[in-house]
Amino acid sequence: MFSDFGKALGQIGDPRFRRVLLLGLALTIALLIGVYAGTLALIEWFAPASVEIPFVGPVGGLDTLLSIGSVLLITGLSVFLMMPVAALFSGLFMEDVVQAVEDRHYAALPPAPRLKLSDSLIDALNFFGLLIAANLFALALYPFAGPLIPVVFWAVNGFLLGREYFTLVAMRRLGRQGAKALRRRHSAAIWIAGTLMAAPLSIPLLNLVIPVLGVATFTHMFHRLNRAQG
């Protein structure tokens, strides 16, 4: 799988990779701005402009203080928001990255039919919901995980990301049922690859590149495993 990642990294300068990277960056920024704006709106709605402190009098700027705190909150949440961004990315931009990889490394293959945009979006939204639900469940485990919280976070999201990305890539060549069958036969390797992808998604700035490299890596992984099976 490290050779798969190396091949993906070697193609990062491809114009189609750069285009998808910029689109993913725009999606991420839009999501963060939306969450931040919603947070500020709630603060402005519920927080008073000033509070009355006994023997001191009115103290203003509470909403400003909370707003500054919201910046720190959103910075922390950006680590968790990258997981849903990666999920949405898979439905919106995956096809272009896979095609770029196949054009360069697997040109002898016949053209694969493009997945319907409606089907891709439905799959992405379903995965988005599953990802949110799984992370909410994982939150309940964090108090018991202690220093292993990052490991739990990476393992849960790695399982889901690997499962989704590999299936979407494989579906183009094998169909949904064939993709699921191949995924089940190599579930451990796919989980490990997904976990290795989930870990850098926790690192600001680096996490903007990972969805592109992740799709490219799973494309190479699919072709390697499918070729070995055949």
Q: Is the pLDDT of residue 56 over 60?
A: no
For tokens 């089940």, the residue is: 184
Question: Can you read off the two tokens belonging to residue 96?
Answer: 């272009």
Q: How many CB atoms lie within 10 A of CB 93?
A: 21
> Going by C-beta distance under 8 Å and a sequence separation of 6 or more, which residues neighbour residue 94?
120, 165, 168, 169, 215
Least reliable range by pLDDT among 2-11, 70-79, 181-190: 70-79
The pLDDT confidence band at residue 219, using thresholds 50, 70 and 90, is very high
For residues 207 and 200, is the Cβ–Cβ distance under 8 A? yes
Give the tens place of pLDDT for each residue, 95-136. 888 989 999 999 898 888 777 767 767 777 777 777 777 777
- Count how many domains the chain has: 1
Q: Is the pLDDT of residue 62 over 60?
A: no
Least reliable range by pLDDT among 116-125, 173-182, 199-208, 209-218: 116-125
The pLDDT confidence band at residue 79, using thresholds 50, 70 and 90, is low
- Return the higher-pLDDT residue of 119 and 183: 183
In single-letter form, the type of residue at position 97 comes to: V
How far apart are the C-alpha atoms of 40 and 25, rounded to whole Å? 22
pTM above threshold 0.85: no
Residue 137's pLDDT is 77
> Going by C-beta distance under 8 Å and a sequence separation of 6 or more, which residues neighbour residue 31?
81, 84, 85
In single-letter form, the type of residue at position 153 comes to: F
For residues 206 and 79, is the Cβ–Cβ distance under 8 A? no
Question: Can you read off the two tokens belonging to residue 213?
Answer: 């490299």
For tokens 């993913």, the residue is: 24
- Return the higher-pLDDT residue of 15 and 84: 15
DSSP secondary structure of 23-41: HHHHHHHHHHHHHHHHHHH
Q: Which domain holds residue 99?
A: 2-229
Question: Nearest to residue 201, comparing CAs of 193, 191, 211?
Answer: 211
Residue 217's pLDDT is 93
SS3 content of the chain, % helix, strand, coil (to 5): 85, 5, 15
